[in-house]
Structure 1
């Protein structure tokens, strides 16, 4: 009945979203449009045995919702761990654990978040999720590419493009039914189910939830001649995301109420988190990995004026110490000198950093929208906003960077924020495309980037895994963990490195050990 697991998300001080998908009949498969109306009961308790019930109710789901269930449970207590489950008749789901955010005026001593991005089903097993579930966490921040849209064998594992696990459907997903089936495939993964069952998620989308290098009017991986209109495809992608993810779109958990995913979460006076959408409102990049002649034009937008104003207002007015920004694509400027063709081509294939002769930016990141980046960084400087940390995914590599107002003058220029970038869960990185052992050819690229970008302090092109963000009043610390082999279900995990941002410093520095708190 509950084949696709259970999940929670978008925790507020007194509310949390609960999610599941039911299979009432054999014919009611995801994306089929078949199956009867089904009544589902949900229960929330303070104990794992579900004896101390604090809230419960029923809701109905139909084929029009792909038999998904989303409930926005209200009236809960702040900073409290709850347990929940669903039932249909006498059939019950597993019991999940979730947690509400602290009260707005609370002063928590510590917050801990998992940070993940870029989980490609065909490129490996989701062992990173399983290991992440072994840490004590307040929430998981998923920064995008929760799933991938490609056809089987189009984008799989490594230099040989080996398919570790086959996609469903096997073709590239375009229709609502397609997107529903792909979400269902991912939700059947046992490691992802385990993590969802353990901790609430706070998610945003990047491009692969719809199509590669998406922008407001199209995508690199969309052909109107064969795949129809972009607007119809994106509506299908967003609808399926709304149905299958424990998120509030446009402020509500009710499916179909809206499509706005940028939103804000407050964790007492310690931290406020602004999750961005950098796909829906952006201008076309002007060609992937190619120089955009007008990249500095004030009219070029990655966030859109409304979202950008919303971000600035939140950064300037929050009463929380740490301003965290869930940032789907990298904001730090990156210049890379020319490199050997083999390495150059691999970077282009995986990271999107470097065109043929070595160029100063990747047009799919904030580097292709420099006016808005400059506006954000100058806003932080002009309004004396401190302790801003951008948390980023997308580029399948780990980074720790200072964000100066003028990177060319660093370290003499003013540094107004920092950026911490997580690796991919499974998606290919540099060593995978080159087909070489870790810490070999990739070190050449890392050395070149360090030389041209003194504000980049840490870089790892080789690992897959997850990160832990540990937040205290004294500092923020990111711990990077790597899995041993994404092609193995039983992959192990080990700590790689940690970098911290001391309060009020606007600078990253290396930490000598991982933060405490693993279960």
Structure 2
């Protein structure tokens, strides 16, 4: 959200390094992704290196001379498990085989994973086949690794090595880790600024993973949002077809800060709306016109295919992004898809927002979530949530600020009361979920949210109108945008000038909102221990500056068993 206001498998042989296995078949199947196979583990890969890059190096490996393959879009990993991780890259087999072209031959790509940056201790190797059918992207779903362990990985094709990346497995299921630490980001509009937030997270050596909460790419044509781009994406027109979405993903992945992030940490991602189109729902989107732009089903299928090709994500239930990852006994991470199953958004003030016949999550996903929360024995229940669940009223905000806030929310400004693209527009699902937490006595649920282009720290009350008499049953940490417009950008004023009035009004009308920052761009770092879950919120000096600095804006925490957020004075060590 946060866009415009409404207006062929090879016969490999499997081998193991000590106690370690190789790869599995990718769950998308051969029609959507090259099949992962394995090769014998030998003393060394027989490679004549051309343009080799080191671990964590930004950018991409250089292609060799002539038509030698190149790794021009970096490497990535994601969805860490206690015994494995998903590895990703894209190979350019010949110069003309650019993203979205459908051109270029099949090429065999080798991968290896090691416990050291020099790859002297290789623990697993395998081969995958890159083809135009999957835009020459490849994934290796490596299993048999040790839990809670850092690994280095790289790919090779035609005598050329990719840059090296670093990844990390999750703690063992029965383990009790002392702490977990995640980077948290959302809303990275390429045209709106530079990805300095990714650079700052890539430079940290203390993260288990980075959680991307949606709007990884944007669908708009150049100059649509924002009207005055800081830089220009490709293609210049709004993306509609499979080739378009592939080009958009491919161009974004040439950003050096994004490449550095993917090379440094495993990324755990869910989608929101802009991966397809603004304010999308099950059968359409605000930013899609059937007559002029074709069938929504075709556009969505193209966007979903490109997403799974380009992202280090395992497709989970029903080919969507909802899935669950476990990090020992300390935390379960429940990742939601709040676009694929939802009913269409309704207008402000319409009673349909409360209808039990309308859903944001879909009945099956909501049942999956509530049953998973009940069954979990983890200390903390983290919910990756693309749109805000906390109820928020904006009625007391001055009229001249309602329009810009509505633009951040992607909804009409007139009579603004709630954001109906959020859980506020689907209150029956929210009541069912929060009622389940309360009725089952499930403590320590933390919603981790993006979308709204602002930092927030919220209690999540059972009944907001009666809060604080009505109990808080969860907490919510909302991260601002990496680059996408927020209040000061829309108003064209310096940060933290006019926004103070709106922030005060929001807090006055919503007593469960502990803090909101409507102006900053940046990222957050979530730190989990048995005693508390804590979010450090960071702000960038200038989204338009590729060398932007970062500073801690605020820190909030929720102590185990309290279901409330309080301000923390000192940053995470």
**Given the two structures, how large is their TM-score scaled by the length of structure 1?**
0.96
Mapped to 1, the partners of 2:414 and 2:306 lie a distance apart of 37
Q: Secondary structure of the residue that 2:402 maps to in structure 1?
A: helix
Tell me what 1:362 maps to: 419
| CA shift for structure 1 position 354 | 7.1
Tell me what 1:260 maps to: 320
Is residue 117–residue 425 contact of structure 1 (8 Å, CA) maintained in 2? yes
- The counterpart of 1:87, out of the listed 156, 159, 165, is 156
Tell me what 1:254 maps to: none
- The counterpart of 1:28, out of the listed 89, 97, 103, is 97
- The counterpart of 1:128, out of the listed 192, 197, 202, is 197
- 1:175 matched to 2:241? The reply is yes
Mapped to 2, the partners of 1:476 and 1:166 lie a distance apart of 38
Deviations 1:231-267 (A, max 9, x none): 100000000001000010027xxxxxx6221000000
Rate the CA distance shift 1:71–1:199 in 2: closer, same or farther, 3 A: same
| CA shift for structure 1 position 353 | 6.9
Mapped to 1, the partners of 2:346 and 2:335 lie a distance apart of 25
Is residue 221–residue 239 contact of structure 2 (8 Å, CA) maintained in 1? yes
Mapped to 2, the partners of 1:87 and 1:291 lie a distance apart of 57
Mapped to 1, the partners of 2:125 and 2:350 lie a distance apart of 54
Tell me what 1:300 maps to: 358
| CA shift for structure 1 position 352 | 4.2
Tell me what 1:286 maps to: 346
- 1:235 matched to 2:235? The reply is no
Tell me what 1:459 maps to: 516
Runs of 4+ in 1 over 2 A off after TM superposition: 290-293, 338-342, 351-355
**Given the two structures, how large is their TM-score scaled by the length of structure 2?**
0.87
Deviations 1:298-322 (A, max 9, x none): 0110000100000001111111100
- 1:342 matched to 2:411? The reply is no
Tell me what 1:212 maps to: 278
- The counterpart of 1:271, out of the listed 313, 327, 331, is 331
Is residue 233–residue 252 contact of structure 2 (8 Å, CA) maintained in 1? no
- The counterpart of 2:548, out of the listed 484, 487, 491, is 491
- The counterpart of 1:427, out of the listed 469, 484, 487, is 484
Tell me what 1:373 maps to: 430
Tell me what 1:19 maps to: 88
Rate the CA distance shift 1:353–1:468 in 2: closer, same or farther, 3 A: farther
| CA shift for structure 1 position 338 | 4.5
- The counterpart of 1:48, out of the listed 88, 97, 117, is 117
- 1:152 matched to 2:210? The reply is no
Is residue 397–residue 506 contact of structure 2 (8 Å, CA) maintained in 1? no
| CA shift for structure 1 position 340 | 3.8
Rate the CA distance shift 1:404–1:353 in 2: closer, same or farther, 3 A: farther
Mapped to 1, the partners of 2:239 and 2:410 lie a distance apart of 23
Deviations 1:83-103 (A, max 9, x none): 000001221011100000001
Is residue 398–residue 502 contact of structure 2 (8 Å, CA) maintained in 1? no
Mapped to 2, the partners of 1:385 and 1:353 lie a distance apart of 33
Q: Secondary structure of the residue that 1:379 maps to in structure 2?
A: helix
Is residue 285–residue 292 contact of structure 1 (8 Å, CA) maintained in 2? no
Gaps of 5+ in 1: 252-257
Q: Secondary structure of the residue that 2:109 maps to in structure 1?
A: strand
Tell me what 1:65 maps to: 134
The count of residues paired between Structure 1 and Structure 2 equals 503
Mapped to 2, the partners of 1:106 and 1:298 lie a distance apart of 40
Q: Secondary structure of the residue that 2:564 maps to in structure 1?
A: coil
Is residue 346–residue 352 contact of structure 2 (8 Å, CA) maintained in 1? no
Is residue 11–residue 200 contact of structure 1 (8 Å, CA) maintained in 2? yes
Deviations 1:430-484 (A, max 9, x none): 0110111111111111111111100000100010000000000010000001111
Q: Secondary structure of the residue that 1:295 maps to in structure 2?
A: helix
Query: Is the radius of gyration larger for structure 1 or structure 2?
Result: 2
- 1:386 matched to 2:446? The reply is no
163-172 vs 143-152, which moves further: 163-172
Tell me what 2:35 maps to: none
- The counterpart of 2:372, out of the listed 314, 320, 323, is 314
Tell me what 1:255 maps to: none
Mapped to 2, the partners of 1:38 and 1:437 lie a distance apart of 51
Tell me what 1:110 maps to: 179
| CA shift for structure 1 position 341 | 3.7
Mapped to 1, the partners of 2:182 and 2:414 lie a distance apart of 38
Is residue 396–residue 509 contact of structure 2 (8 Å, CA) maintained in 1? no
Mapped to 2, the partners of 1:412 and 1:102 lie a distance apart of 39
Rate the CA distance shift 1:416–1:423 in 2: closer, same or farther, 3 A: same
Gaps of 5+ in 2: 1-69
Mapped to 2, the partners of 1:250 and 1:466 lie a distance apart of 26
| CA shift for structure 1 position 510 | 0.1
Mapped to 2, the partners of 1:338 and 1:154 lie a distance apart of 30
| CA shift for structure 1 position 124 | 0.4
- The counterpart of 1:333, out of the listed 391, 394, 417, is 391
| CA shift for structure 1 position 133 | 1.2
| CA shift for structure 1 position 164 | 1.1
Mapped to 2, the partners of 1:68 and 1:129 lie a distance apart of 22
Structural RMSD (CA): 1.0
Deviations 1:338-358 (A, max 9, x none): 444431111111134773234
Mapped to 1, the partners of 2:416 and 2:250 lie a distance apart of 40
